[in-house]
Chains A and B, each alone.
Chain A
Amino acid sequence: MLSNKSIVLITLLLIASALSAWSITDSYFGNRIGSMDARIYGMGGAGTYNNARPFGIADNPANLTLLKKNAGFSVGTLYNRNEDNRAIPLYNSFDNYVDDAVYSSNINFYDDYAGAAYYSRKLGIGAFGIGVYHKPRLNFDSNYKEEVRNNRNTDNDGYPELIALNTLESEGNLYQTGFVTSMGFSFGDDFDINLGFDYSLLRGQVESEKAIRWSDWAIATVGSSRNLPSLTETINYDLNGSQLRLGWAALLNSRLGAAMTYSPKTTLTREGDYLYLREAYYNAAEVRESNPIDEDYIMPAEIRFGINYAPRNVMRTVYNLDLEYVRYSEIHTRYDDQLNLYAGVEHHITNRIPFRLGFNAVNNYFFTTESATDAENNPITVYYTKKILTPMITAGSSVQLMKNLTADLGFGYTWREYEALDLFGDAYYNDKTYTGSSSYALWPNSHIQLANRGWENPDKVRENNISFNAGLSLNW
């Protein structure tokens, strides 16, 4: 299926999500992981200007000399709980669309790990530093289970019979190993300029499988003379490439800092195999389709600008605000460039225990295709592109364990709501197709219409993520 698409389509398969979430919607496109710095995580992810933690070098290479330390080391972990609820449109007795009712709910936990280290040295008014970090850039982990049941017994507090089990499973990461170098020039206590350069290797391996398995009850009910065809679709591939990023960070005066990063459009290779296997049934042979994948995988250019403001405040306060411009139009004209907002504040309440609070609103795209026919009845593929807004609120704190050692904690809550096509079309469960019979064996209710739902009746998806980011940072 996907491997058969034209190069235009391949170009469209982008890494677009800027959400630290492990969403089934993004299982193919990947979930971009933002800052792995737990302090910045609690401040809404606004970390283009980060003069406090070693992980800053992964967000902006110029942060390396901005830190004004000799050396540092950070490790971080990110735990995420993703809840995905899918709902079906409901109609009342007037055939009026009234609402949506959830038919499938999945909750999964995922984790990620990262580390960063740097060394820098002062040379007169200048400073020079090198650093390295390793972090997951994209996460492809996802799990989805959906039971197909008939509606028998529901009125008598019984369980309706399970007909089939649908699963989607995906596992993999695109890891980013970045080599960072930065130069800083200090023109006084409160004025310095830093320029950084980041060259990252991007390597990843992804394995995903979509499967439909019939239940024992369904197989037994249909009988051994007829086969209910199970379906398996697997995609395994490697992602390879490298990315450049330029960074600038400047302390403009004792209160105000500004920073900027630019990463140009990056093309990765995506190589692997695709397999589609549907078993034979009574008048149809087995379908086995196997294709190599050899495609481009595009990451759009990003320009991000941030400020850091440290006013006088009875609770020592740092305020960060980032604006990110993502050039989605470089990928396809169907996409509009998007502006993302990140903001966060850190207040030291008492005894240097900080309270952090943040917000971000990130737009990302996903797209799906659907088969249709044009005016002359020729089959065509229709592309649907959808922009999805993901707001996030964050909070965080930290504990200073030793003089130079700090443990940071960050929490985030995100949610989003959008429409999507049904992941498993209902027509597949029409056992009449597989038995040749004129009546259902698995569906006691003869009124049921087992047809695939298209965009005229899409799923309503509500997702939320509760994430927890913990990091240890050491600075000398």
Chain B
Amino acid sequence: MKKFWILFVALFFLAALTAKVDLNTASLAELKQLPITEQQARDIFDYRQYVKIFSSIFDLREIPSIDQVTLDKLRPLVVVSLYVETDEVALRRDEIRDLLERLDSNEGASEGMADVWEDYLMTPQNVNRMQLDDFMSLPNVSGVDAVAILKRTAQGDTIADTRDLRNTPGLSHYGYTNLRSYVYYKEPPVKNRLLWDANLQYYTRYFEEGQYDMLHESFLRNDYQATGVVVPHLKNLSYWGYFGLDELNPDVLLKLRLRYGNNYKLGIMNYSGKGEPGLLSSNAKDLIRDSKWYAGYENSELPLGNNSRLKFYLGNYRATFGEGLVMENTDYYSARKTGFGFSKRILGITPDLSRTQEFALKGAAMEVTNPYFGVTAFVSQDDKDAIAYVNADGETIKRDNFGNDVYTDTDGKQYYLNASNQPVYFYEDGSPVAADKDKLFSYVIPTLNYDNDTLREAESWFNNELAQTTNPYATNYINLATRKDILREKLWGTHLQVNPLLGTKLGFTTYTALYDDAHFIVPSYNELLPVVLRDSYYYTKLTKIMNAEISNLYSTQTESYNRDYRRVIGFDGQTVIGNTSIQGEYAELSLDGDDLKLGDDPKAYLVSAYTQFENLYFLTLLRNMDRNFDNPYSNSFSEHERLEDTILEKNIYALTNPTLADLYLNSNQSQPERGVYFETRYKFNNYFTVGRSYLDLWERLTDGRRTARFQSELEFRPLYQVALRLRYKNQVNRYDDDAERGVSKTNEYTMSVRTFLSNRDFLELEYRYNTVWNPPYTSLTNPANEGENTMAAAMTLMTGDYIGVNYTHNFSKSLKVQGAFLYWFGHGISHWDWEDMEIDFMGEKGSKAWIAVTSRISQNLYMNLKFRNKTFQDKELRIRNYNSSEDPVLVDDPVYFQRVEHSENTVRFSLDYRF
């Protein structure tokens, strides 16, 4: 009987309980049955629907219309059931939110790699099946860490969880913390399912300083110095004025990626930059042609033996091997790319939806690997932009197979000019002169993306002005000009790899780019100046500048060979000994020598050793790239990009076509250098850390300039929330000759205070002070006699400084506001600043402020809006000669407009839907 009563009471309470309204499941109608107003019921319903699921009854108090009295009244009538959202993708995304944000903020630098890493964060790889290159491709994971794990898995051990991973002998704490989010152990956090990512970005950016200067250069008559010649002041004699580049013109990026787990992948991206037609003004055919896409299949469990895997891609893909000497295709140069830390290479074949256009590979690629060997083969066919030799009418000059420039007369017959400038219509064997290959100077990544007809119209207008001369200067028309898609490049390549020992690999890489419709012709050093410079007046002055780098660009026709391809062959290797990982690559560009013989062709090599301790690492890197190693698909370690300091950078005003400067401004290759680089980081304890510090000693091989660059950073963290940082950078450039070139020294001192506030808010104050000691540009100045130094000489000592504040405020998980204000005084020194997702360079004097709001609208939808105002003053300009001064000291001197102020408003709007 007693039991019966207990049961009865239990049932009674159960019944009472079930009669209660469950706030997390009740319909609106059920909520309206409660003793509250209809509006209050609606508010409760809306809170659950649009704010969050109730975790306790007291959440009701967060609803403005529910007061304590109402809550007390409701309390006996309602329950809150346990209700958890189980969307594994959303959970996973929350888990790795910090890392995703960090990758996004690095997107500008890594260009497309963030996509690959994001995929691995969302759908990690099984750590027990990963191979050496898989580890090496992840950010902040070293070869030593990789081998520590591989040793375990090779012995048949299975890593069961993060804790188990952490206990791996030899795996550093740093390696472990960076690796753990990219791998899984038994069950993946997200099971195979369809994932997609749609991205829209709208960006009204301005031209960078170098591009701005290049596009402002006027095409002037050569005889402007002659007396009695009136030179018209016409804005539209520059590309800037002609194309009306003062107008805002946004870059629009649309990207869609789909994948099913890590197996099936599909993506398409359209990017319209400056000068390119937008989506509405493109026809469908052009739109498809200009878009990048890929379709791929990956299988990491091939039935070909132990742990074999396959990747197969159609469309756009990236290929990266070794140290990037033979093949790492990208349009974007990054300095000091060591292959360690965040400065990584993702080895092998990866899908490519980056903004890289010129050195994009489009075709098919296949990669089969297992723990002992790997085979990769790839083919590509794509139309490339190039600088072409053109006639006065804008037609490209043709080149025959015997090294003659071939012209076409009015009858359509082709001829070349012999040594005495007479037309020759037949070769010695009696056959008519024939040439259908374009004569090209080099690949180029153009700043302006107008089509060829539009470019030719512009050139015709400029030529019209250049031709208004009677003086016999070298060039009175544009002889070199960018032509879009002029070169049909067919490329094939392969990479073979053997891994004889754990953590040891040997690789062989080669590619050949076939040029069926073009010859690359670059004149030798002495013949170069008349081709590139507009006016013989400059020849002698500019021979002092290191132009051998231009004359060493690759030619397909020289006195010693005649071919229609470019071939690069290389070897790479890696091994781990104890806590040191040694890796390197050797590459040769086939020129005069035998393809298979080493040492007889322009070469490049790079060897590095990375030694890792728990709180310390050393990286030593040795590199050497010959002057004539012109491989546009390389992207290895260097301090500077190719063609820096040549006439393409320094003397844009003297070029036959200012847009030749694109060869330098948008260069993706390393400058020929030889040097040794040393990097370290040491964490003494929780208070003191020597941050990434390096010393680089190198020689620029084109002109023998030697440089030492040192940077070190000390962080003092007296409290967890406060960090003080000191950074010092010193660079000395010098020549070992007795010409007027001299030493330049740069010092940069930075101090910053960072506070890490609650809720991940962040405040930073930074001050930077620089000095640059420069020799005067004596080659450009007149003799230093009294009254004769009328042209500005460079300052011998320049000082600049910079002060800035950064702040991040998280209103909640859904809304983050970042902003910064900074002021700088450059005095000719260029400052740089890392913004939320991109780096910005600032010259002269000015201030800027930016604010970026990241709104997580829903679990899957993100909106980012960034606005920046940058107000700065430009260089001093002499504007008007006729504004004579009446000042008794400056009598009759020209009056200068002191500086011209610029104000730039930049907005970037992006929408991301990740599902």
Residue A332 interfacial (CB < 8 Å): no
- Which of A99, A155, A415, A458 interacts with B895 by CB under 8 Å? A155
Residues of chain B within 8 A of A376, CB atoms compared: none
Residue of B nearest to A347 (CB): B815
Flag if B879 contacts A314 (CB, 8 Å): no
Flag if A391 contacts B248 (CB, 8 Å): yes
Contact stretch, chosen from B112-120, B514-522, B900-908: B900-908
Give A154 to B879 CA distance when docked, in angstroms. Answer: 15
Residues of chain A within 8 A of B235, CB atoms compared: 89, 97, 456-458
Contact stretch, chosen from A353-361, A423-431, A466-474: A353-361
One digit per residue, 1 when the CB lies within 8 angstroms of any chain A CB and 0 when it does not, for chain B 739-750 equals 000000000000
Give A101 to B51 CA distance when docked, in angstroms. Answer: 52
Flag if A447 contacts B882 (CB, 8 Å): yes
Residue A210 interfacial (CB < 8 Å): no
Within 8 A of B (CB), among A400-438: 413, 415-419
Please tell me the number of chain B residues within 8 Å of chain A, measured between CB atoms: 70
Residue B878 interfacial (CB < 8 Å): yes
- Given A94-B224, A317-B857, A393-B867, verify A341-B216 contact (CB < 8 Å): no
CB distance from A386 to the nearest CB of B (A): 8
Flag if B812 contacts A315 (CB, 8 Å): yes
- Which of A155, A393, A418, A448 interacts with B882 by CB under 8 Å? A448
Give A453 to B142 CA distance when docked, in angstroms. Answer: 64
- Which of A97, A254, A455 interacts with B49 by CB under 8 Å? A254
One digit per residue, 1 when the CB lies within 8 angstroms of any chain B CB and 0 when it does not, for chain A 296-336 equals 00000000000001111111110101000000000000001
Residue B865 interfacial (CB < 8 Å): yes
- Which of A99, A314, A388, A419 interacts with B52 by CB under 8 Å? A314
Residues of chain A within 8 A of B28, CB atoms compared: 189
- Given A315-B814, A393-B907, verify A460-B867 contact (CB < 8 Å): no
Flag if B858 contacts A417 (CB, 8 Å): no
Give A345 to B858 CA distance when docked, in angstroms. Answer: 11
Flag if B815 contacts A355 (CB, 8 Å): yes
One digit per residue, 1 when the CB lies within 8 angstroms of any chain A CB and 0 when it does not, for chain B 850-876 equals 000101111101010101000000100
Residue A339 interfacial (CB < 8 Å): yes
Residue of B nearest to A418 (CB): B247
- Which of A155, A312, A357, A416 interacts with B885 by CB under 8 Å? A155
Within 8 A of B (CB), among A167-212: 189
Residues of chain A within 8 A of B907, CB atoms compared: 359, 391, 393
Of residues B220, B234, B813, B874, which shows the largest number of chain A Cβ atoms within 10 Å of its Cβ?
B234
Give A185 to B238 CA distance when docked, in angstroms. Answer: 61
- Which of B281, B863, B903 interacts with A345 by CB under 8 Å? B863
CB distance from A475 to the nearest CB of B (A): 13
Flag if B250 contacts A389 (CB, 8 Å): yes
Residue A90 interfacial (CB < 8 Å): yes
Flag if A316 contacts B51 (CB, 8 Å): yes
Flag if A347 contacts B234 (CB, 8 Å): no
One digit per residue, 1 when the CB lies within 8 angstroms of any chain B CB and 0 when it does not, for chain A 98-115 equals 111110000000000000
Residue B579 interfacial (CB < 8 Å): no
Give A345 to B814 CA distance when docked, in angstroms. Answer: 12
Flag if B248 contacts A90 (CB, 8 Å): no
CB distance from B417 to the nearest CB of A (A): 34
Flag if A457 contacts B234 (CB, 8 Å): yes
Flag if B882 contacts A343 (CB, 8 Å): no
Residues of chain A within 8 A of B858, CB atoms compared: 309, 311-313, 317, 319
Residues of chain B within 8 A of A336, CB atoms compared: 280-281
Give A458 to B115 CA distance when docked, in angstroms. Answer: 44
Residues of chain B within 8 A of A189, CB atoms compared: 28
Flag if B220 contacts A316 (CB, 8 Å): no
Residue B694 interfacial (CB < 8 Å): no
Give A457 to B242 CA distance when docked, in angstroms. Answer: 10
Residues of chain A within 8 A of B635, CB atoms compared: none
CB distance from A50 to the nearest CB of B (A): 17
CB distance from B760 to the nearest CB of A (A): 15
Flag if B236 contacts A456 (CB, 8 Å): yes
CB distance from B211 to the nearest CB of A (A): 15
One digit per residue, 1 when the CB lies within 8 angstroms of any chain B CB and 0 when it does not, for chain A 377-403 equals 000000000111101010000000000
Flag if A361 contacts B202 (CB, 8 Å): yes
One digit per residue, 1 when the CB lies within 8 angstroms of any chain B CB and 0 when it does not, for chain A 337-355 equals 1110101010101011001
- Given A311-B861, A419-B247, verify A94-B280 contact (CB < 8 Å): no
Residues of chain A within 8 A of B49, CB atoms compared: 254, 312
Give A154 to B880 CA distance when docked, in angstroms. Answer: 13
Residues of chain A within 8 A of B50, CB atoms compared: 310-313, 316-317
Flag if B246 contacts A418 (CB, 8 Å): yes
Flag if B887 contacts A345 (CB, 8 Å): no
CB distance from B574 to the nearest CB of A (A): 47
Flag if A95 contacts B900 (CB, 8 Å): no
Residue A267 interfacial (CB < 8 Å): no
Residue B897 interfacial (CB < 8 Å): yes
Residue of A nearest to B236 (CB): A456
- Which of A338, A345, A387 interacts with B857 by CB under 8 Å? A345
Flag if A155 contacts B887 (CB, 8 Å): yes
Give A386 to B894 CA distance when docked, in angstroms. Answer: 38
CB distance from A93 to the nearest CB of B (A): 5
Give A199 to B857 CA distance when docked, in angstroms. Answer: 36
Residue A225 interfacial (CB < 8 Å): no
Flag if A99 contacts B51 (CB, 8 Å): no
Residues of chain B within 8 A of A418, CB atoms compared: 244, 246-248
Residue B160 interfacial (CB < 8 Å): no
Flag if B233 contacts A91 (CB, 8 Å): yes
Flag if A93 contacts B881 (CB, 8 Å): yes
Flag if B857 contacts A313 (CB, 8 Å): yes
- Given A455-B236, A458-B235, verify A92-B216 contact (CB < 8 Å): no
Give A156 to B888 CA distance when docked, in angstroms. Answer: 11
- Which of B234, B246, B865, B894 interacts with A359 by CB under 8 Å? B865
Residues of chain B within 8 A of A151, CB atoms compared: 883
Residue A462 interfacial (CB < 8 Å): yes
Give A462 to B902 CA distance when docked, in angstroms. Answer: 11
Residue of B nearest to A319 (CB): B857
Give A394 to B220 CA distance when docked, in angstroms. Answer: 44
CB distance from B811 to the nearest CB of A (A): 6
Give A445 to B885 CA distance when docked, in angstroms. Answer: 12
Flag if B248 contacts A99 (CB, 8 Å): no
Within 8 A of B (CB), among A145-176: 151, 154-156
Residues of chain A within 8 A of B883, CB atoms compared: 151, 154-155, 445
Of residues A93, A99, A151, A315, which shows the largest number of chain B Cβ atoms within 10 Å of its Cβ?
A99
Give A415 to B217 CA distance when docked, in angstroms. Answer: 27
Flag if B813 contacts A309 (CB, 8 Å): no
CB distance from A122 to the nearest CB of B (A): 15
- Which of A347, A393, A419 interacts with B855 by CB under 8 Å? A347
Residue A283 interfacial (CB < 8 Å): no
Residue B877 interfacial (CB < 8 Å): yes
One digit per residue, 1 when the CB lies within 8 angstroms of any chain A CB and 0 when it does not, for chain B 213-257 equals 000111010001000000101111110110010111110000000
Residues of chain B within 8 A of A27, CB atoms compared: none
- Given A154-B883, A311-B859, A418-B247, verify A95-B231 contact (CB < 8 Å): yes
Residue A464 interfacial (CB < 8 Å): yes
Flag if B903 contacts A90 (CB, 8 Å): no
Flag if B909 contacts A89 (CB, 8 Å): no
Residue of A nearest to B204 (CB): A391
- Given A99-B216, A457-B235, verify A337-B241 contact (CB < 8 Å): no
6 A-B contact pairs sorted by A residue (CB < 8 Å): A89-B241, A96-B238, A313-B51, A317-B857, A359-B202, A387-B247
Instruction: List 16 additional contacts besides A96-B238, A98-B877; criterion CB under 8 Å.
Output: A89-B233, A91-B233, A96-B653, A99-B874, A155-B895, A311-B859, A312-B858, A313-B814, A315-B815, A317-B50, A317-B857, A349-B812, A417-B247, A419-B244, A419-B246, A445-B883
* Chain A interfacial positions (CB closer than 8 Å to B): 89-102, 151, 154-156, 189, 254, 309-317, 319, 321, 336-339, 341, 343, 345, 347, 349, 351-352, 355, 357, 359, 361, 386-389, 391, 393, 413, 415-419, 445, 447-448, 455-458, 460, 462, 464
3 nearest A-B residue pairs (beta carbon): A311-B858, A447-B882, A95-B231
